[in-house]
């Protein structure tokens, strides 16, 4: 059945992949973005599709439309961008959630919140199940993002309880792939761009801190399965790759795949940077038809390296 679907932050890295997939699945897609971190180039190839619509709008302001489903992805997600204007970041998470939940309430649409593994902070429990409440500094440099997303989850749960809005909450763990912003400060894009340019690869800390990297196609599949899951399951649910890698392992793999001569250098660890990040995905496997990541890190990195090679050649 063809649905009308609103994607906020739809011109961003993840949002643009989601828009493409929803169109491929036969739906009508309205993409909303203010282009703070999103990029029109990510979706320009979709503009010829009669079932795709692109609207410039900031979710901190109300928006009115008739749709069947809403994917709320709008918010800068990398430290470089969300720390650039921390007040704007927390307004995007909180006011954006209020505006989109208000819209969902009025038009009786189902709405999915793209939350984050950052709600777990620098975790004391490892790996992280959804039942863990987290270890977050409420007044640190990362708080605008971490606490903004935590507050958005609260709003989603309260709109469900008070107004019977059909909600879904996913917690996204580190995701990478084509269309990442080369200047977003995320570790995968940083390492690949530095390696392709032959620059030093900068690792913050001693490199033993870990992350779990999922390829963007696996995330999009998880998002869609969550939106289509049974009505009495609203989450939150972890969507991430349970395979854990150290920063040193990632840097060495990127150097090998790019054939780079880059050296690895170490820099001081930023405030509140998590030392471990790994999801427990038992709930996703159980509730989302056996969902789990299928793209191995080396396979996904090759596709991402190819994307950045082409991008750097064009610039």
Report how far residue 172's alpha carbon sits from residue 174's, in angstroms, rounded to the nearest whole number: 7
- Chain centroid offset of residue 181 CA: 13
Residue 7 and residue 31 in contact, taking contact as beta carbons nearer than 8 Å:
yes
* Burial class for 91, CB neighbours closer than 10 Å (0-12, 13-18, 19+): middle
Report how far residue 284's alpha carbon sits from residue 172's, in angstroms, rounded to the nearest whole number: 12
And the tokens for 41? 């180039």
Q: Is 179 helix (H, G, I), strand (E, B) or coil?
A: coil
Residue 294 contacts by C-beta under 8 Å, 6 or more apart in sequence? 218
Report how far residue 75's alpha carbon sits from residue 81's, in angstroms, rounded to the nearest whole number: 10
Task: Choose the catalytic residue: 82, 120, 145, 159.
Answer: 145
Report how far residue 160's alpha carbon sits from residue 168's, in angstroms, rounded to the nearest whole number: 10
Report how far residue 25's alpha carbon sits from residue 18's, in angstroms, rounded to the nearest whole number: 11
Tally DSSP H helices, then E strands, for the chain.
Answer: 9, 13
Whether residue 145 lies in the annotated active site: yes
Residue 168 and residue 229 in contact, taking contact as beta carbons nearer than 8 Å:
yes
Report how far residue 73's alpha carbon sits from residue 10's, in angstroms, rounded to the nearest whole number: 7
Place of tokens 């011109």: 11
* Burial class for 40, CB neighbours closer than 10 Å (0-12, 13-18, 19+): middle
* Residue-level length of the chain: 315
Catalytic residues: 145
């Amino acid at each position: 059945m063809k649905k009308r679907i609103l994607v906020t932050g739809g011109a961003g890295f993840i949002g643009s992949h989601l828009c493409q997939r929803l169109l491929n699945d036969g739906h009508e897609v309205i993409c909303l973005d203010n282009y703070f971190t999103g990029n029109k180039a990510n979706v320009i190839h979709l503009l010829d599709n009669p079932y795709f619509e692109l609207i410039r709008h900031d979710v901190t302001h109300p928006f009115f439309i008739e749709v069947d489903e809403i994917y709320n992805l709008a918010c800068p997600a990398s430290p470089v961008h969300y720390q650039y204007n921390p007040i704007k970041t927390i307004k995007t998470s909180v006011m954006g959630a209020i505006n989109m939940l208000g819209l969902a309430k009025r038009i009786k649409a189902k709405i999915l919140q793209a939350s984050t593994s950052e709600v777990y902070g620098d975790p004391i429990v490892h790996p992280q199940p959804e039942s863990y409440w987290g270890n977050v500094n409420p007044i640190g440099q990362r708080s605008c993002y971490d606490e903004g997303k935590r507050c958005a989850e609260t709003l989603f749960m309260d709109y469900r309880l008070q107004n019977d809005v059909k909600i879904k909450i996913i917690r996204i763990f580190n995701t990478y792939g084509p269309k990442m912003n080369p200047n977003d400060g995320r570790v995968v894009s940083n390492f690949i761009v530095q390696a392709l340019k032959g620059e030093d690869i900068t690792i913050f800390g001693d490199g033993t801190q870990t992350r779990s990297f999922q390829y963007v196609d696996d995330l999009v599949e998880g998002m869609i399965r969550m939106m289509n899951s049974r009505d009495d399951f609203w989450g939150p649910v972890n969507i991430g790759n349970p395979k854990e890698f150290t920063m040193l392992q990632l840097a060495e793999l990127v150097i090998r795949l790019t054939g780079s001569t880059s050296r690895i250098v170490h820099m001081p660890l930023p405030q509140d940077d998590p030392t471990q990040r790994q999801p427990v995905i038992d709930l996703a496997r159980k509730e989302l038809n056996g969902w789990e990541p299928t793209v191995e890190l080396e396979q996904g990195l090759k596709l991402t390296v190819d994307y950045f090679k082409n991008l750097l050649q064009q610039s």
